[in-house]
Amino acid sequence: MKSEMLKALNEHYAIGAFNFVNLEMLKAIIDASKETNSPTICSVSEGALKYMGEKECIAMFNACKNNANVYLHLDHGKNLDLIKRMVDLGFDSVMIDASDKPFDENVKLTKEICEYAHRKNVFVEAELGTLAGVEDDVHSEISKYTNPNEAKIFVEETGCDSLAVAIGTSHGAYKFKGESKLNFEILSEIEKTIPNTPLVLHGASSVPQEYVEIINKFGGNVQGAKGVDENTLYEACHQHNICKINTDTDLRIVFTGAVRKYLVENPKEFDIRKYLGNAKEEVTKYLIEKINLFGKINN
């Protein structure tokens, strides 16, 4: 994981990190990784672990992985005991997210996890700054950009392997009321203070309107959803040091739209393998495009 992230930093591309909550989502991510021949990160949140079961999740990942170049990553770890347990159970990478705590406490907690995880060769992502947005276990009303000078002190003191930065993204489907814009000036400043640290962009779903329309056309009601423009994502990973791009909401949208459409178009069908299998294929197609957008150009 560390060498993959440093390679992405040196060669200016990003590894896609996609969240899964079940077998279909996990298989979609692994199939897309194999199809594109690209390293890919399979992320699970604390909420997803609760849903799947910790041991079940890891067993499923190990069983599905085969020879694919995929990594199992804990997303937004908040509970120190849980993070350490995931290190012990064999995760490739963990995120300690103490970004809602005061700076000194964030440093202390992150350092504790780094020392624990590095003993077992597990990669550690930390976060500085605050993303706005609401998800199951990830909640903040306001956003606060990452301070470039604090970032330098933070990385030096904690020894974290990568840093998630707040530059204007937010979690969920409702990211912008007006124009989709990120603060690349702050990102450039961060890159000057910590040039050797791979950076991570959370809240990076582009919320593709054609998929939102499928949800709405087939009985859903999702209004005013807006994500990060794909040209902006392209700039973030190919012209800056963003080496890992997190996407969850888009997968939920594509999957849900595909299930709705399938059931409406096939009203007599009740074999769950048919509509979940179809949705999995739609997510795989979407992921292949995303990985190609983030990935090594001319790979």
- Contact residues toward ligand 13P (CB under 6 A) are 19, 75-76, 171-172, 202-205, 246-250
Q: Is 20 helix (H, G, I), strand (E, B) or coil?
A: coil
- CA proximity to 263, closest of 214, 208, 191: 214
Rule CB under 6 A: say whether 277 interacts with ligand G3H: no
Q: Active site includes 75? A: yes
Q: Which of 75, 92, 161, 248 is catalytic?
A: 75
Whole-Å CA distances, 105 to 74, 117, 166, 181: 20, 18, 18, 30
Rule CB under 6 A: say whether 92 interacts with ligand G3H: no
Q: For Zn ion, which stretch binds (CB under 5 A), given 155-163, 195-203, 211-219, 290-298?
A: 195-203
Rule CB under 6 A: say whether 206 interacts with ligand G3H: no
> Which residue, 245 or 283, is less far from Zn ion as judged by CB?
245
Rule CB under 6 A: say whether 48 interacts with ligand G3H: yes
Phi, psi (degrees; rounded to nearest 5) at 44:
-130, 135
Determine how many CB atoms are found less than 10 A away from the CB of residue 115: 12
Q: For ligand G3H, which stretch binds (CB under 6 A), given 5-13, 40-48, 208-216, 259-267?
A: 40-48
Name which of ligand G3H, Zn ion, ligand 13P, none residue 204 binds, using a CB cut-off of 5 to 8 Å depending on partner kind.
ligand 13P
Among 88, 115, 136, 185, binds ligand G3H (CB under 6 A): 136
- CA proximity to 38, closest of 254, 259, 243: 243
**CA geometry: angle at 252 spanning 274 and 163, to 5°?**
140
Q: CA 123 to CA 216: how far, in whole Å? A: 40
**Total binding residues toward Zn ion, as defined by CB under 5 A:** 2
Whole-Å CA distances, 114 to 17, 157, 158, 230: 20, 10, 7, 33
Name which of ligand 13P, Zn ion, ligand G3H, none residue 47 binds, using a CB cut-off of 5 to 8 Å depending on partner kind.
ligand G3H
Among 27, 73, 175, 202, binds Zn ion (CB under 5 A): 202
Which residues of the shown chain bind ligand G3H in the complex (CB under 6 A)? Answer: 19, 45, 47-48, 75-76, 135-138, 171, 248
The residues annotated as belonging to the active site are 75
